[in-house]
Structure 1
């Protein structure tokens, strides 16, 4: 059948033609659609919903029985309720996550001052209960109209249903009756971190839901990460008045062997420090700037990895990175000696001298192409390897080096379920790889469990939930009054001429 003849077929015939030879027929009316993007009041930088494909009997379809689905085959349409002919300004895409699961996501480029209608189509046919009515207003990411206080926002988004063990451990140190006294914390921080070339941090104040800061250090450029993140949160909920220090550097600051412990917010923690750990700037930036300035987010990585099915991936370990840890150099040297076992190269050298045993410096490899290989190796850089969530998202088992450093979710990872542990010196790497090669189905299962951990625990809503709970717990322990010094800089919200906060249509519920 020629292409011109195919184009004349109705949608249901195209669907039958696409899948008849490969297995059960997908039934769009029987697909399962779920996720925060079905609730207009859940204001996220990018709204998203999941589509699980099923057949006429309600059975979940696997990838082998499905055609490649792109934004033309599985798509959404969003319109103002009652004005279906007015196309709203948004960007959307469909991404494949594995196991017949897809994510449809959309970034609004305007605030919708009404209820909205969301339709999902598969080869032109309505999916499940489509169209869905979304209670308005649907506010875009730049709209500064927080409708709930922080506690209400956490309840509404179901944030309290997640058990964050790192959060509990971090705040346990500061839960005594004295709580957090910021004059004491600030004075102690000024004494300990008085080398402005070595340390960089900001003292942030949130007062009446406005953001202020005063920074210390020569290298405070990372406020370009922290400012937009905090402003984004304050557009979503009314925060309590807060006063806290946020570490702009990679290394956690407050050592356990020095009292008093300081409740400094940091991007990662260690076994030797008492910092309160936030999701890393890599993860928060991928959340706030998804489908905007950032290409590599966790959903995109999971999608890109699907180009490489497990049986076709190469049975070698893979690593790319700079020379920020001597163990990385040792891995590269192993790769040079045993290229059939490991493909490891350096993409940049800054810390160590380049030697012949390290081979050539190579170009960066797109993250999605890491998953040509069955096994990924995660080795610390200067601190925790912030790439770990992205490696887990790709469905290859991750061999993770034991480390003093950790991100906010490491406590919830289970060895040999979500990842394969390695000794710090990598001395058991060859043994671990031999086991993975000999137990291919178990290796595939570990890789898939890692991917599911990401989809269940590290999606944008969960990242924002974690940040919101950090602010709530901190506020509950803060005992000193919150005031804004005249020396503080006021960090203002971006302008959004499209945003109105006075809409009181039928979608606004009394309890909000």
Structure 2
């Protein structure tokens, strides 16, 4: 210290700055335990071992808006691609309000069934909570919206919307153009009789309660797993595993299981979630379920998030007919991406397609590849964010009122959502976090609305393919 006092003022200042910088660099390492939180979870779930500890959960200070931090004209890399055809359904979801626009009254009409309100103004997102959703559906949906703002900085228009995170569609499609307009409500699932604005479900950013990681990383792992176990080496049966108690249709499906007297070519298993939770969810890894030559998809209470995991297995998916859809399933075509199965006669239908596939292996393998390619490429996380952007942008164009931030709303930040979460929830948020950049990949180009004749042809093709399969089955069992 005495030697330092002998230095000149300039030298002493440089030494002091160097000391302070060294202290700041060392600060994150002070007080770290040798046992980190990730030791409680398998190492394969973790992208980086020290990143989570760096999240500033000691403060709820709002993250600064991206506006002003990124150039108003960000560097765009490459031309925009054409969006997949299922993006056309964005226009159809919004058709009930195309002529009238969306008034505040139409939004507030959905308030009794809404779980939360989302307001986006000047690149910031706010949430007013009315009721908690099942498990952490609301948390991860809001996390996805927050990542969207990072994915497309300065591109999300000001808007205000209500969100319901239950399974059953809550609004009814008007019978004619003169009928009162329905509530403008966002949900995960719709049906032909509903007027719902469909939005990607929470599980694309992780389903912590059942240890299913975010889709971006999981999709890559499923693609690699498909290469490890070839289709011809898989069990030559139709596989399904799930909770049968959420819907009578699933209980009916269990009647197709193999018995001493009958083999319907199905291998069906009950998922006991209570036992799974007690056992650490070791038997519910979706990567371990691409082991059969055929997979079965059947609704839960309505649609099921399992559809994407089932389709991604490179095995042809047998889809039990359903009136429900999510945002991407309207892009799937029977006999191209999946094999349709009648809901009222499941067992003979399953037996027939597996027997048919043994005689037409190249055809069913091609169907499995196309279904898997659809999920892994056309429903990649890039496309998920593109769909969100276009859906919200088209919705915002219809608004006839100026969005405002309610007094009870909270600004969403990484800390607000991640800090109250448990260890696995925070891990999934870290894994799915979008890193901001001045280099922006443009969203895909939204296709125009379907013309009436295009819609008519599309629906007719789907009906005809399903009827063709029914005709084949009927001829076979006569």
The answer, yes or no, to whether TM exceeds 0.5 is yes
Equivalent residue number for residue 32 of structure 2: none
The answer as to 2:371 corresponding to 1:456 is: no
Partner of 1:274: 195
Structure 2 CA distance, aligned partners of 1:216 and 1:402?
Answer: 34
Matched, 1:213 2:127: yes
Alignment equivalent of 1:223, drawn from 138, 162, 174: 138
Query: Which residue of the partner structure matches residue 315 of structure 2?
Result: 396
Which stretch of the first structure deviates more once superposed, 328-337 or 225-234?
328-337
Q: CA deviation at 1:204?
A: 1.2
1:232 aligned residue (147, 158, 167) = 147
Q: Partner of 2:292 in structure 1? A: 373
Task: Judge conservation of contact 1:320–1:364 (CA < 8 Å) in 2.
Answer: no
Q: In 2 relative to 1, CA 477–318 (structure 1 residues): closer, same or farther, beyond 3 Å?
A: same
Q: 2:354 aligns with which of 407, 410, 433?
A: 433
Give the Cα separation in 2 of the matches to 1:500 and 1:376. 36
Are 1:344 and 2:265 counterparts? no
Could you tell me which runs of 5 or more consecutive residues in structure 2 were left unpaired when the two chains were aligned.
Answer: 1-46, 52-62, 275-280, 419-433, 442-478
Does the 8 Å CA contact 2:199/2:388 hold for their aligned counterparts? Answer: yes
Structure 1 portions without partners, runs of 5+? 1-105, 111-141, 194-198, 351-361
Matched, 1:419 2:338: yes
Q: Would the alpha carbon gap of residues 189 and 294 (structure 1) be closer, same or farther in structure 2, given more than 3 Å must change?
A: closer
In the aligned structure 2, how far is the partner of 1:154 from the partner of 1:403?
41
Quick check: 1:384 aligned with 2:303? Answer: yes
CA distance in 2 between counterparts of 1:152 and 1:411 reads: 33
Equivalences for 1:166-181 in 2 at 5 Å?
166-176=89-99, 178-181=100-103
**C-alpha distance in structure 2 between counterparts of 1:444 and 1:426, whole Å:** 24
**More contact order relative to length (CA 8 Å, sep ≥ 6):** 2
Residue correspondences, number: 346
TM-score normalized by the length of structure 2: 0.64
TM-score when scaled to structure 1? 0.60
What is the aligned counterpart of 1:335 among 252, 257, 281? 257
Q: CA deviation at 1:154?
A: 10
Q: Distance in 2 between matches of 1:406 and 1:175?
A: 22
Cα distance change, pair 336–161 in 1 and its aligned pair in 2 (3 A): closer
Q: Distance in 2 between matches of 1:391 and 1:366?
A: 12
- The alignment partner of 1:234 has SS state of helix
Which residue is 1:446 aligned to?
367
Return closer, same or farther for 1:143/1:458 CA change in 2, 3 Å cut-off. Answer: farther
Q: Greater strand share, 1 or 2?
A: 1
2:116 is equivalent to residue 202 of structure 1: yes
Other-structure match for 1:251 = 168
Q: Matched residues in 1 for 2:390 and 2:440: separation?
A: 25
Q: Report the alpha carbon displacement of residue 431 of structure 1 after superposing the two structures with TM.
A: 2.1
Q: CA offsets per residue over residues 28-84 of structure 1, 9 Å max, x none?
A: xxxxxxxxxxxxxxxxxxxxxxxxxxxxxxxxxxxxxxxxxxxxxxxxxxxxxxxxx
Change (3 A) 1:184 1:442: closer
**Distance of 1:153 and 1:250 partners within structure 2:** 40
- Deviation readout 1:139-180 (Å, 9 max, x if unpaired): xxx99646477x98999782654431221211222211x211
Corresponding residue SS for 2:411: strand
Distance 1:434 1:405, change over 3 A: same
Between the aligned partners of 1:473 and 1:108, the Cα distance in structure 2 is: 40
**CA 291–380 in structure 1, closer or farther in 2 if over 3 Å, else same:** closer
User: Alpha carbons of 1:395 and 1:385: their partners in 2 closer, same or farther (altered >3 Å)?
Assistant: same
The correspondence of residues 112-127 of structure 1 with structure 2, limited to 5 A, is none
**Counterpart in 2 of 1:135?**
none
1:465 to 1:152, Cα distance in 2 relative to 1, 3 A: farther
CA drift at 1:458: 0.7
Please say if residues 305 and 395 of structure 1, whose CA atoms lie closer than 8 Å, have aligned partners that are also in contact: yes
Cα distance in 2 between the residues matched to 1:185 and 1:375: 43
Cα distance, 1:297 vs structure 2:
2.1
Residue pair 2:212, 2:286 contacting (<8 A) in 1 also: no
Q: Which residue of 1 aligns with 2:158?
A: 241
How many Å separate the matches in 2 of 1:148 and 1:156?
Answer: 18
TM-aligned CA deviation for residue 345 of structure 1: 1.4
Distance verdict in 2 for CA 1:500–1:266, change over 3 Å: closer
Is the contact between residue 305 and residue 369 of structure 1 (CA under 8 Å) also seen in structure 2? no
Q: 1:154 touches 1:468 (CA, 8 Å); kept in 2?
A: no
> RMSD of aligned C-alpha atoms?
3.8
Residue 189 of structure 1 deviates from its aligned partner by 2.1
Tell me the distance in 1 between the aligned counterparts of 2:311 and 2:74. 32
Cα separation, partners in 2 of 1:368 and 1:435, compared to 1, 3 Å: same
Cα distance in 2, alignment partners of residues 246 and 334 from structure 1: 38
Residues 466/148 of structure 1: CA separation in 2 closer, same or farther (3 Å cut):
farther
